[in-house]
A and B are shown apart, each in its own frame.
Chain A
Amino acid sequence: MTILDKPASEGTAAGDRRASRDRKPRRETGAANVFSHGFLLVWGALTVLPLLWMFLSSFKSDGEILSDPWGLPGALRFENWARAWTEAHIGRYFLNSAIVVAGSLTLTMLLGATAAYVFARYEFRGRQVVYYLFVGGMMFPVFLALVPLFFVVRNAGLFGTWTGLILVYAAYSLPFTVFFLTAFFRTLPTAVAEAALIDGCGHFRLFFRVMLPMARPGLISIAIFNFLSQWNQFILPQVLMQGDDSKWVLAQGLTALAVSQGYQGDYSGLFAGLTIATLPVLAVYVLFQRQVQAGLTAGQLK
């Protein structure tokens, strides 16, 4: 780690500059640098260790897990994964989550982009009121709506259905999506749109052919944000998808697995289930980390 603190005299350019300055810029000593770099390493280890432990434990036998938490697995027991996949139905829940999120994400993006576009680009009576109605939704905790929402969904005949979940996910993603995309559409130049309208392009074609492609970076950011929050959603399915466990989403399947592990002592199965749920998300994140980080932080910076 001391490599970081190469003496300045190593550089040839530094030699002549040093002569002309009266006060030496403060340079940290090697010890201070090792010290602070040490903190970075410690936090990195704190982040990785539990995940690595989960991964390794998914190959262990229950005996190995109980007797030696820090030990390595004696063999690569993929049967733990198979057991979690089939017996705990993690495979099915994974698919269910994928179906629900595919539906809700499409709906969120479609409705969010169209609404935001209208708010950003068209003047009409009551625009401000409707806009603040949407954006105000960001202030309310989901908890407040939970009880009545349960009955709204039940009365609509959507209780325990994927359609219900898709509609509810989309509805609760709209405030932030509309807020973010309205700001984004406002930043796009108006000249292009005006030119297209003069050339006889209709309003609908203008949106789908010109404005949507121009808004791509913003759409990608907010899509990533919504994907993660909908994929990780837990409270809404827990309330709206009780009962029929063949339709559960992944988060519910994992909690059920944790509960059954509690009395069966199937530690390896739980770790395998958690690993199966974690790996794809982590892999996608590592591949697209720049976009993911930008997507998740951009919203907060606006």
Chain B
Amino acid sequence: MRHGKYPLIVTFLVPPVLLYVIFVVSPYLQAFQISTTDWLGYSAEADPVGLANFETLLHDGRVWNALKNNALLLAIVPVLTIGLGLFFATMLSMGGRKGRAGVTGVRGTAVYRMVYFFPQVLSVVIIALLWKEVYHPNSGLLNGALRAVGLPAPTWLGDPRTAFWCVLAVMVWANVGFYVVLFGAAMSAIPRDIYEAVLLDGASRWTTLRRITIPLLWDTVQVAWIYLAIAALDGFILIQQMTNGGPNFSSDVIGLRMYETAFGSESKFGYASAIGVVLFFLTLSVAVLALRAARRDRIEYS
């Protein structure tokens, strides 16, 4: 029966592999090579300099500053997003406790899910531009409300003390809805009778969440952790569109630093690739760490 399978394998596999090798694999490999050169821009001259770029990187205050911001994002965004996501998902799928009906969702669950998911379908550019206007010191939605109740109106994105946190808030805002739906889908796979049993045993909501829901959702939470960690190491579009790293580099991130180094006023391609390589290893180690740290025995119910 296996006669003639090779024509199919070849026709089906060669075009995607070609496309992938040309546009994805080869650039990645070249990036590692370029990172060891002093290639400046569009000239053909690129001399190998070994690890000199990485040495410069170690003493580059701006890179460290950007990395510090990424570290903050990494420490805060996943915790906040997963926390809020779990909280809302729990409320939606089992918030309504009517005693006799067992465990059900609150009223309007479908509407909440639909609305919470809105930011996920919008382009990050639209989210960034919209929130930039929301934070606008004069005509923004936020300061409009603050002025209406007589509070002082900060400049938000214009203030080095607040700019970074404003963008962080938008990052959480944009992500929570997705995880509400993701956790909600995972929760609906948990058998209802488990909840009804603990309910009869008199468990409070918090105990139910901590002792039942989270252990059973652990795989999903772990995946969420990795995705959010990778997103926290990026943050490029939001930062570039909302603050462009400013004011005074207070909201800079490593992705923006790399973009500016390569495509900004100076085109230090060698150095930019070195930043890219560092970013790659950071992403890789964060993903591996998240997998390791979150490893637990898998619970299966039949």
Contacts and interface: CB of A to CB of B under 8 A. Distances in A.
B22 A171 contact: yes
Contacts of A17: 100
Given A202-B4, A255-B125, A144 B106 contact: no
- Secondary structure at the B interface, as helix, strand, loop or mixed, is helix
Contacts of B299: none
B139 A174 contact: no
Give the 4 A-B residue pairs with the shortest CB-CB distance, closest first: A69-B144, A232-B123, A148-B30, A171-B23
Interface in A113-159: 114-115, 117-118, 122, 124, 130, 133-134, 137, 139-141, 143-149, 151-153, 156
Contacts of A26: 199, 202-204
Given A40-B112, A296-B178, A297-B185, A282 B234 contact: no
Interface of A: 3-6, 8, 11, 13-14, 17, 21, 23-28, 33, 36-37, 39-40, 43-44, 46-51, 53-54, 57, 65-66, 68-70, 111-112, 114-115, 117-118, 122, 124, 130, 133-134, 137, 139-141, 143-149, 151-153, 156, 167-168, 170-172, 174-175, 178, 194, 197-198, 202-204, 207, 228, 231-232, 234-235, 239, 250-251, 254-255, 258, 267, 270-271, 274, 277-278, 281-282, 285-286, 289, 292-294, 296-297, 300-301
A140 B95 contact: no
11 contacts: A23-B200, A37-B106, A54-B130, A130-B17, A146-B27, A146-B258, A153-B23, A170-B19, A204-B8, A239-B263, A300-B223
A265 to B, nearest CB: 10
Given A232-B123, A274-B129, 13 more contacts: A6-B98, A25-B199, A40-B88, A47-B115, A111-B15, A117-B12, A118-B13, A143-B236, A167-B19, A168-B23, A171-B20, A203-B8, A251-B125
A174 B5 contact: no
Contact of B106 (A4, A47, A111, A202): A4
B133 A49 contact: no
Contacts of A274: 126, 129-130
Contacts of B287: 139
Contact of B12 (A3, A118, A175, A285): A118
Contact of B133 (A6, A271, A301): A271
Interface in B105-137: 106-107, 112-126, 129-134
Interface string B21-38: 011111110110010000
B144 A143 contact: no
Interface in B214-256: 220, 223-224, 227, 230, 233-234, 236-237, 241, 255
Contacts of B224: 300
A8 B98 contact: yes
A143 B138 contact: no
B143 A69 contact: yes
Contact of A3 (B92, B107, B220): B107
Nearest to A229: B123
Contacts of B230: 141
B97 A27 contact: yes
B16 interface: yes
Contacts of A44: 112, 115-116
A143 B255 contact: yes
B100 A47 contact: no
B205 interface: yes
Interface residues of B, number: 107
Contact of A66 (B24, B126, B138): B138
B281 to A, nearest CB: 10
A237 to B, nearest CB: 10
Given A27-B99, A44-B116, A118 B276 contact: no
Contacts of B293: none
Contacts of A25: 99, 199-200, 202
A37 B107 CA distance: 9
A23 B23 contact: no
Contacts of B28: 140, 144-145, 148
A153 to B, nearest CB: 8
Given A69-B140, A111-B19, A228-B121, A39 B91 contact: yes
B100 A13 contact: yes
B173 interface: yes
Nearest to B189: A301
